[in-house]
Structure 1
Amino acid sequence: MTDARPAHDARIWLYAFGYFACYWPYSALTKLASQGQIPGMTRALSGFELLPVTTIASLVGMLVFLSWRGLFRYATHRIVLGRSIPVPTRWTFLSGVATAVIIATTTLAYTFDGVSIVLMMLFMRGGVLVLAPFVDAWSGRRVRVASWIALGLSLASLAVTLGGGARYEMTMLAAADVAAYLASYFVRLRFMSHLAKSDDPHDTYRYFVEEQMVATPVVVLLLVVGAVIGKGAALEELRAGFVSIGDTGALFPAIAIGLLSQGTGVFGALILLDGRENAFCVPVNRASSVLAGVLASATLAWLGLGRPTPVSEMVGAAMVLAAIAVLAWPTLTARRRGGVTAAARPAP
């Protein structure tokens, strides 16, 4: 299988910046809300209390974005009651369900007591980095040397950070959260590799739109069902997130978290849908979020709301920067030689 995008197509780096710009405040606000440290909040909120409003805000953000950009035209359409409506295929529906799990587990990851943003991020991001070349091999996609080097640097970043005094407190719930996240990413990358990394931009955008149409609505539906059941501590917290979050002073921060989460979902998906191998796209995606997480931790520490960033985490972040430089080098050199980018796709 050949690459659908040449090495010197630079659009992916704009998406990476957008992902970073959304992820930095998203992770910081989520951590602050879980600790009750946002001005105006009356108490800390659990991850389950945050999920209802954040996912509803993400749903609204998704619908507004797709409508504003006119992207629903790329989706598969069916005639229902005499009207043509956009619908997902079976495979984009399954990918959307996997993405729904990723959305929920990502928000929960930054709310566990005693576990730093960077530690959870590196477990989750490092795991996806390991998955990437295996998905490429399974899909018959060539992995370039620069991608292998960047993958190695990213994994080394994980090892340095975890081996340098990072906090290892992991509850069973946190471990289950990471496991569900990684399993869902494996499913998503497989479907993307098979269906969406194509020479035809319509295939790519059809997959993007249909996955977005499914992911957040599925999360909202599951949360509503859980809140209706309402038995057990977690589901009681979930119900409270629907009915009483306004009493905690966290309504507007939760809306902001949800909109930023949707921003990371849009830019993150566009990075992964780039036609190059997963061992290239995944490090770009993961590196953007790891750097954002390190900056979020440093921001909280600077504000006196979190622990100082350990030297090991800073070294790990520097290695991630090196990985980004390795990945960007073919783009920069090709453009200096006057290479022409691939045929322009309609930008979302």
Structure 2
Amino acid sequence: MRPRPCRCGIQSHPWRYALAATPHDDTHDLTIWAYAFGYFAAYAPYSALTKALSGGSLPGMEHGISGFTLLPVSTLASLVGMFVFLTVKRWWSYAGHREVLGVRVPVPGRWTLLSGLCSAAIIGTTTLAYTIPGASIVFMMLLMRGGVLVLAPLVDIMSGRRVRWPSWVALGLSLSALGVATGTEVSATLTMLAALDVGVYLTGYFFRLRAMSHLAKSGDPAVSIRYFVEEQMVATPALVLTLAAMALVGGDGILGEVRAGFTGFLARGHLLEEVLVGLLSQGTGIFGGLILLDARENAFTVPVNRASSVLAGV
């Protein structure tokens, strides 16, 4: 059953309520594992299809499609997927609203706006990570997933959350699994573009986890859903607008590749696959976000999130 928006002051002061709320005992709540399966089910084909398009591995492809060229269509598809999901779930009512020209429209708060922008950076850098020439997909996963695992307990400590011993065990096992997954044959080459991609990715996750811990991980469904909706309504539109601005500027190099992503999607002949990359990416964003918004500490929810994505990627 869909939880109803609370009428006890949460709509006017939701974040104050979140800070004051005492998280309920959800150690036996299995919902997070359903989200983890959904994350895995979306991530496996997403990463594989992205790598196949960038490597020119699909039937009929003579050459690969660069990551910056893939982003426009896939991001537009993610935008549609986000709108459809929130509409079908009837979650728009949970967002904060403001009257604009006589019409009440959903608007994000300051912190969900920041979190949404960070999420937009995460979406873009994740897609690019699997398309950077010369970068090992598994090594990139080690840096990105392992980096967020390290951030998790640090954010908990900064947020005043107690990290229980099973979460420390989960962190240790997850980091060990990442090391085993890389093996001895993985190339550790890291280009300047790959290093920048990882840096933006981890920075985005740091601020996103901080905002979630401060505002939304209260155990109250209405608070978590409001945060989720306001973040989602910022993330993908912000990325689409950024790519559109880059395409309008145009030129050589990256700007030219982005423009080609908007203008040459029919000529490339793989529109369906590019759309699927975007829809699957949105699927990972939905399930991944719901995992992280679980009321338990980040040192628990992040390993669940990371283990699911690493398993799918490997």
| Fold in common (TM above 0.5) | yes
Out of 115, 120, 133, the position equivalent to 2:135 is 115
Partner of 1:193: 213
Unaligned runs of 5+ in 1: 295-348
**Contact (CA 8 Å) 1:96, 1:213: kept in 2 or not?**
yes
Residue 70 of structure 1 aligns with an amino acid whose one-letter code is R
Q: 1:149 aligns with which of 156, 166, 169?
A: 169
**1:247 equivalent in alignment to 2:238:** no
The count of corresponding residues between Structure 1 and Structure 2 is: 294
Residue 312 of structure 2 corresponds to which residue in structure 1?
A: 292
Alignment correspondent of 1:204: 224
Q: Could you say which residue in structure 1 is the equivalent of 2:288?
A: 268
Q: Does 1:132 align with 2:155?
A: no
Question: Residue 84 of structure 1: which of 104, 107, 112 is its match?
Answer: 104
SS at match of 2:68: helix
Q: Distance in 1 between matches of 2:61 and 2:27?
A: 47
C-alpha separation in 2, matches of 1:197 and 1:130? 19
- What RMSD over aligned residues (CA atoms) do the two structures have, in Å? 1.3
- Counterpart residue type for residue 131 of structure 2: T
Q: Structure 1, residues 218-268: CA drift from partner, whole Å, max 9, x if none?
A: 000000011111133011011000001221112111000000000000000
1:35 to 47, 55, 68: 55
Cα distance, 1:5 vs structure 2:
4.8
Distance in 1 (alpha carbons) for counterparts of 2:179 and 2:275: 35
Cα distance in 1 for residues equivalent to 2:75 and 2:222: 28
Asked whether the 8 Å contact 2:135–2:191 carries over to 1, the reply is no
Q: Secondary structure at the match of 1:100?
A: helix
**Separation (CA, whole Å) in 2 of partners of 1:55 and 1:110:** 15
* Range that drifts further, 31-40 or 234-243: 31-40
Equivalent residue number for residue 177 of structure 1: 197
Correspondence 1:230-241 to 2 at 5 A: 230-241=250-261
Distance in 2, Cα, partners of 1:31 & 1:266: 21
> What secondary structure is seen at the aligned counterpart in 2 of 1:86?
strand
Structure-2-length-normalised TM-score: 0.91
For 1:12 and 1:5, how far apart are their aligned partners in 2? 14
1:47 equivalent in structure 2: 67
2:265–2:271 CA contact under 8 A, matched in 1:
yes
Partner in structure 2 of residue 21 of structure 1: 41
Indicate the percent of aligned positions where both proteins have the same amino acid. 63
Query: What is the deviation of 1:122?
Result: 1.6
Moved more, 129-138 or 152-161: 152-161
Q: CA deviation at 1:80?
A: 1.2
Q: TM-score normalized by structure 1?
A: 0.82
Deviations 1:68-88 (CA, angstroms, capped at 9, x unpaired): 110101000111111111110
Counterparts of 1:290 and 1:201 in 2: how far apart (Å)?
28
